[in-house]
Every structure is written in structure tokens, then in C-alpha cells.
Amino acid sequence: MNNQACFAVIAAEEQELAGFSEFLQSPQDLDGPAGCRFLVGETDGVKVAAMQCGIGKVNAAIGLQAMIDTFHPDAVVNIGSAGGIGEGLAVYDIVVAERTVQHDMDVTGLGYAPGVVPGNDSPFCEADKELHDLAVRAGTEEGLHVHSGTVASGDVFVSDPALKRKIAGTFGAVCAEMEGAAVAQCCVRNNVPWVVIRAISDNGDDAAAVSYTEFSAQASVEAVRLIRRMIGMWAADRT
């Protein structure tokens, strides 16, 4: 498989990759650097490398850099669940990121705009258009309700209506989670195409914890369904 194209998938929690190995041929668990573990196999003629990185932006960045250094992927997709903070989103809907932003990055005291990482001109990272469009097509063909927009990431579980309104109002974000923008920044630094895909598990309000507990596992199943079809489409486009 050494000369095959590689499609990488990274998620924070084990449940977000549940059932992933079922469509891989000869899946193997491999040890990697920094204590990382990878699930590696193939499908549709391409190598697939997946990993659970752990919750939060630091874990996501560490895990993804280890994955990039080990497998040199041609595409990276970050999947998982998120809280819907925009209008018109329901539990189990899918959001495909057009861009990401770190909503908790705040260097405004030094004159930077909210969300800007010093050294960058914009608070936003733009997703790869090909991967974005493939994800939208795959989700639509799977019969899922697919939305596109800005995904906001921060090291906080959003369960406060005031914070929800602030993130949505400041950045125009449609959902909030805890890893996507770190994945995006790491991919940009490594020049790897990327997209973030999120299944809605809650509404980012004061009932978010209860909703997340109840719905996040099934939301993850919906995201994996989309990924399975997306990989096949990605592979077909490369032949």
C-alpha cells in the first residue's frame, strides 16, 4: 500500500470512529509517536488511516502532526459531533466547514481582531474546496441534511446561551466544537488539503450536556456514513 493515495480521518472520541473498521480491508492497529495509535486499512483502492486524538485543540494538533509525519496523507478529514449555534440546525444534521475559526483565541489586547492567531491576517482557515464539495455531495447522497458554513473551535464545551450568541454573532459560525480549527491550522502549516465535518448533537445551550449525552453516539454514526461514501467518491475522482 506504500504507493497508494492516503485518506486520513481524525476524531476526538472513540465513539466518533465507531464502526469505522467495518468497511476497511485488513484493518490494523498501529502504535505511533507521542503515544498515538492508528487504525490503518484500505478501501476503494486507497489507504485509510484513522485515529482518535482526544478532546481539545492541543490533542488534535499533536495527533494530526503525528499522523501527517507517519502517513503523509493526501487528504485529512476531521469528523465528530458539534453544538448547533446557528439558525435552522437540528440534531443529526451535518455541517461541512467552509472555514474554521478559533473562537477562544483572543489577542485583542495587542490590537488583533477576535480569533486572529498572531502571524495570520485572518481569523479564518478556508477548507479545501474539492473536499468540501465531495463531503456535501456524499452527505446529500446518503440522505442527510447537510449545511455549509463556519465551524468555531475552542477549548470549552458550549452550554451557555450567551456564549453561543457571542460566537455566532462574532464569527458567523453555525456550530461549535473543540478540535476542528486546530486540525485546519495544522493542515495549513503542512500544506495538506482538509475539511471538517460535524454532526449536530445538541444546540449549544443550557440543555447541551443532556442532549450531547443522549444523541452524540448516533450523530457520530451519521458522520461515518458520510465518510464511507466520501472516500469512495474521492478514490473514483483520482482514477
- pLDDT tens track of the chain, all 239 residues? 457 899 999 999 888 887 888 889 999 999 999 989 999 999 999 999 999 999 999 999 999 999 999 999 999 999 998 999 988 898 889 999 999 999 999 999 999 999 999 999 999 999 999 999 999 999 999 999 999 999 999 999 998 999 999 999 999 999 999 999 999 999 999 999 999 999 998 877 666 665 676 777 787 788 888 999 999 999 998 87
Q: Which residue among 42, 93, 202, 205 is the active-site one? A: 202
Grid coordinates representing 119 are 502571524
pTM confidence score: 0.93
Question: Is 16 one of the annotated active-site residues of the chain?
Answer: yes
Q: Which residue among 16, 42, 44, 93 is the active-site one? A: 16
Question: Is 14 one of the annotated active-site residues of the chain?
Answer: no
CA dist 140 and 18 (Å) reads: 21
Amino acid at 31: D
| All structural domains of the chain | 6-237 (3.40.50.1580)
Q: How far is CA 176 from CA 39, 74, 95, 201, in A?
A: 27, 26, 10, 11
Radius of gyration of the chain (CA): 17
Q: How far is CA 8 from CA 52, 119, 167, in A?
A: 11, 27, 29
Closest CA to 8 of 81, 72, 73, 97: 73
